[in-house]
A and B are shown apart, each in its own frame.
Chain A
């Protein structure tokens, strides 16, 4: 596969403040790449650099094999959609869509055709004569996407496009965006801090923190095998449980020990190469712990104390205490549990994650 967008050794600093440092990223043709991270992690900055809206300090940016490092935004073959929609308030929807084309002095007939095609794809034909103020949030964002669409851009850049919408519209437009990507097959780079958006939309996700890409992987790998503790904690809702402890040897097999509890690590990938004595953090997702009768006759069971439960509709989030550590478990039934009850739990170790206590890297 050819590379569509290629960022090489990108460096951006404002005076002494370094935002992005030696960042490299290869994005395949037609790929939907999501930049995910908490606010201030540099994901929007990276997007602005790719768009050419920020002057970079060092490094190179290639789009479709062309070095665009010094090119103006309009010459990069990109379309961009912003969080605040950024529609021109005094122009009609049609004016908004055609503004970029009029700037290139395109023949009128072709502008008309392109606007009509984009309006058809996004189903905004009845709105063409309206001003942005007369549109709802979802309609505005559709127009903003249309503005990128008419330009026949090679690469679409989305800067948190759904963050200003309410929850219901957000999930609707999310599906539409995915459908749009299926139809158009353009390369799309999408910035968000919403992990659900990232997991549902992306071919690959780049999780960023402090201007550094922590992990670049497809959503399933990212979720099941996070590369470090930060990624593990950031991705997943409800969040992963972390237990501090050390590696020990129990009955000749590697095990994890926290206070009085010893969890044998059979089933964890390549557990035998881990040397005992090392301080580690065990990460367990709430849905990878079974509770009560579900724990059944699993080989290793532990006892935890019930604290409270949060009904979440489809299932429940149950908070327990395991040897003093708070532990959340996702389960379907919580019948007949009272505060302080002791319940058996079992851990799905092949799905667990072990991190080094110091470097926070996955072991």
Chain B
């Protein structure tokens, strides 16, 4: 019996301990292959942009768009920020940057505040017709923006806030409501109902439960909401160009004016720098809060 099983000690009584893992199975090769291709696909344009923005115009004219800069210059970045021409004025896109900040900050705060309270009310304080209200809201999430543009222009004109910062903030709040309310409602509905009941027995009212009990429990979902809104509002072009008015054009609109200027030489390096500057804010937001974002999404935005 034993004599036939003496080839290796392991063979005596079969496998033992941790199962060995093979490095290069077809599955892992496929997996990493796809991941690498996807990464290159997304990173290559970014690489070209960064490289180009650091070159002078003579170097760009040589045409080697993948070559790293021979003579690194930051002048295009300075020009883009400070003195590139956007239409008639030549003050760079810093004006647009500050406009975007002025639109994004109140837009995010107001829409998150309203949506979180609505979501909380829909989840925990059922009222007559709350289901109907929720259905309407869901429906609203699927209506394309363009359909509502003209009616909203008229509405804002009648309210006297067309072409103002207030106007564009209001519009962003309106468009953010359906998806954000859905997000918050589902999250609050996933919290244990017994905590809500306990708070009611403890004599807390609508606002006390929301502010003192629910809010501290819901940081991840607020982070998700903030990220969605910051990137959404910052990247928005259409609503900004329609509702903000000339003096309040957000950064995206200014960027378009820089890049699509028809006069003079096309300064590719300045265009690239301006684009990178515009994309910087959402990028930083994702990098800083990516982990919280994933946790928040996993915590209840998708399920429920």
**Which chain A residues numbered 82 to 121 have a C-beta less than 8 Å away from chain B?**
82-84, 86-91, 99-100, 103-104
Per-residue CB contact flags for chain A residues 65-89 toward chain B (1 = under 8 Å, else 0) read 0000000111000111011101111
Knowing A90-B217, A99-B212, the reply to whether A84 touches B192 (Cβ < 8 A) is yes
A53-B201, A73-B200, A147-B202 are contacts. A86–B212 as well, Cβ < 8 Å?
A: no
Interface: B158 (CB within 8 A): no
CB distance from A321 to the nearest CB of B (A): 46
Residues from chain B with Cβ under 8 Å of A49 in the complex: none
Residue of B nearest to A74 (CB): B203
Interface string of B200-232 (1 = CB under 8 A from A): 111110001000110011000000000000000
Contact A86 to B200, CB < 8 A, known contacts A99-B212, A103-B208: no
Verify if A51 is at the interface (C-beta below 8 Å from B): yes
A51, A79, A80: most-surrounded residue (chain B CB, <10 A): A80
Q: Choose among B200, B202, B203, B217 the residue with the greatest number of A CB atoms under 10 Å from its CB.
A: B202
Cβ of B202 and Cβ of A74 under 8 Å apart? yes
Q: Is B198 an interface residue (CB 8 A)?
A: yes
A48, A80, A90: the one contacting B198 at CB < 8 Å is A80
**In the assembled complex, how far is the CB of residue B215 from the closest CB belonging to chain A, in whole angstroms?**
9
Chain B nearest CB, measured from A340 CB (Å): 42
Distance to closest chain A CB from B211 (angstroms): 12
Contact with A along B18-30 (1 / 0, CB 8 A): 0000000000000
CA distance A223 to B302 in the complex (A): 49
B110 at the interface (CB under 8 A from A): no
Chain B 170-201: CB-based contact to A (< 8 A → 1; otherwise 0): 00000000000000000000001011011111
Question: Across the two chains, which residue of chain B brings its CB closest to A95?
Answer: B212
Q: A88-B213, A89-B217, A90-B217 are in contact. Are A99 and B202 (CB under 8 A)?
A: yes
B: interface residue count bin: 10 to 19
| Interface of B (DSSP majority class) | helix
Given A86-B194, A88-B195, residue A73 in contact with residue B216 (CB < 8 A): no
Q: Are B202 and A82 in contact (CB under 8 A)?
A: no
B206 to nearest A CB, angstroms? 12
Name the contact of B201 in the complex, choosing from A73, A91, A104 (C-beta under 8 A): A73
Residues of A within 8 A of B198 (CB): 80, 82, 86-88, 144, 147
Q: Which residues of A contact B194 (CB under 8 A)?
A: 82-84, 86, 159
Contact B200 A53 (CB under 8 A): yes
User: In the complex, what's the smallest C-beta–C-beta distance from B207 to chain A, in angstroms?
Assistant: 11
Q: What distance in Å separates the Cβ of A46 from its nearest Cβ neighbour in chain B?
A: 15
- With A88-B213, A99-B212 known as contacts, the answer to whether A104 contacts B197 (CB < 8 A) is no
- Given A86-B192, A89-B217, A90-B217, check contact A103 B197 (CB 8 Å): no
What are 7 sample pairs from A and B whose C-beta atoms fall under 8 A apart? A51-B197, A73-B200, A74-B200, A86-B197, A88-B199, A99-B204, A103-B202
Residues of chain B at the chain A interface (Cβ within 8 Å): 192, 194-195, 197-204, 208, 212-213, 216-217
Q: Which 3 A-B pairs have the closest CB atoms?
A: A74-B203, A100-B202, A90-B216
Besides A51-B201, A86-B192, A86-B195, 19 more A-B contacts (Cβ < 8 Å) are A51-B197, A73-B200, A74-B203, A79-B201, A80-B197, A80-B201, A82-B197, A88-B199, A88-B213, A88-B217, A89-B217, A90-B213, A90-B216, A91-B216, A99-B199, A99-B202, A100-B201, A100-B203, A103-B202
